[in-house]
Amino acid sequence: MDEVYKFLRTQGGQGDPLGTWEVLFALSLSLVCLIVVSLVYRFTHKGTGYSQSFVQTLVLTGLVTSLIMIVIGSNIARAFSLVGALSIIRFRNAVKETRDVGYIFFALSIAMACGTRFYIVALLATAVISAVMIAMYFLDYGSNPDRPERLLTAQFPPGVDPESTLRDALGKLFDSYSVVSVASVRQGMYTEIVLSVRPKKDVPGAKVLEAIAELNDNLKVSYHYASHSDDI
């Protein structure tokens, strides 16, 4: 415990290299903080896009970042060498949720703090930011329950104008709507329209599907409740 307390009192950014025990301490502290970050992410995640691989990647990427910061230390030449070596890596995975990007930076920042001896900063930042994210989850911060925005997708036979066909029904079902896209699908056999809609109160999804199906000859109709997490 005395050794742990000594490490915690170490000032960040010191130029002398880390000893073996301090390297283990930095990686262990980084692991603890990153597990907390991943648990907070899992607890506060909403929607259907949850990925176990992403949660594990948060922990793995953070540990690797801590190790890189330990290796670099205050050596400028080593820093430039690592930048050149890592620049060949290309990431092409699309991040579907904007919030996931925030958690990536959260994990990387905590890992960098641990790798550069800012242990107290890492602990405080983990506690404070995690508490903020949990509070926003329980408060449902940023939501607009009175005016939910959803996506309506419908297919029509060729030669039918979707906008004019749906105009009357959309006015009865929704407070407001706007056309997102109109596209030809199934090798031009059908026309697909995507609309952003704000439903009226007490209008269930089944009623929306039934009303649209009467107008498009019972072709495909989709009514998305989580418009911002679904691919258009």
Check the CA dihedral 147-151-153-159 and report its sign.
Answer: positive
Residue 7 has a pLDDT of 55
Phi-psi region of 81 (alpha: psi -120 to 50; beta: other; left: phi over 0): alpha
Residue 39 and residue 125 share a domain: yes
Q: What is the dihedral of CA 183, 186, 191, 192, to 10 degrees?
A: -60
Q: Is residue 180, in this structure, part of any structural domain at all?
A: yes
Do residues 156 and 191 touch, judged by C-beta distance below 8 A? yes
Q: Is residue 167, in this structure, part of any structural domain at all?
A: yes
Residue 135 and residue 65 share a domain: yes
Q: Which of 117, 139, 161 is the last residue of a domain?
A: 139
Residue 125 and residue 156 share a domain: no
Q: Which of 120, 139, 158 is the last residue of a domain?
A: 139
Do residues 225 and 205 touch, judged by C-beta distance below 8 A? yes
pLDDT for 34-45, tens place per residue? 999 999 999 998
Which candidate, 135, 207, 194, places its Cα nearest to that of 162?
194
Residue for token digits 């997490």?
229
Residue 161 and residue 46 share a domain: no
Phi, psi of 18 (to 5 degrees): -80, 140
pLDDT for 109-159, tens place per residue? 999 888 888 888 899 999 999 999 999 988 888 776 666 778 888 888 888
Residue 111 and residue 21 share a domain: yes
Residue 97 and residue 65 share a domain: yes
CATH number at residue 203: 3.30.70.380
Domain extent at residue 202:
150-224
Q: Is residue 144, in this structure, part of any structural domain at all?
A: no
Residue 23 has a pLDDT of 84
Residue 132 has a pLDDT of 95
Residue 122 and residue 47 share a domain: yes
Angle, CA 46 vertex, CA 140 and CA 151 arms, to 5° = 95
Domain count, the chain: 2
Q: Give the pTM.
A: 0.66
Residue 229 has a pLDDT of 47
Query: What is the block-wise mean pLDDT of the chain (232 residues), using blocks of 10 residues?
Result: 58 60 87 95 82 90 88 66 59 72 91 86 94 91 71 86 87 87 83 87 85 86 68 49
b/e map 5-40, b = 16+ CB within 10 Å: eebeebeeeeeeebeeebbebbbebbbebbebbbeb
Do residues 94 and 49 touch, judged by C-beta distance below 8 A? no
Residue 71 and residue 15 share a domain: yes
Residue 181 and residue 130 share a domain: no
Residue 133 and residue 18 share a domain: yes
Residue 154 and residue 124 share a domain: no
Residue 173 and residue 116 share a domain: no
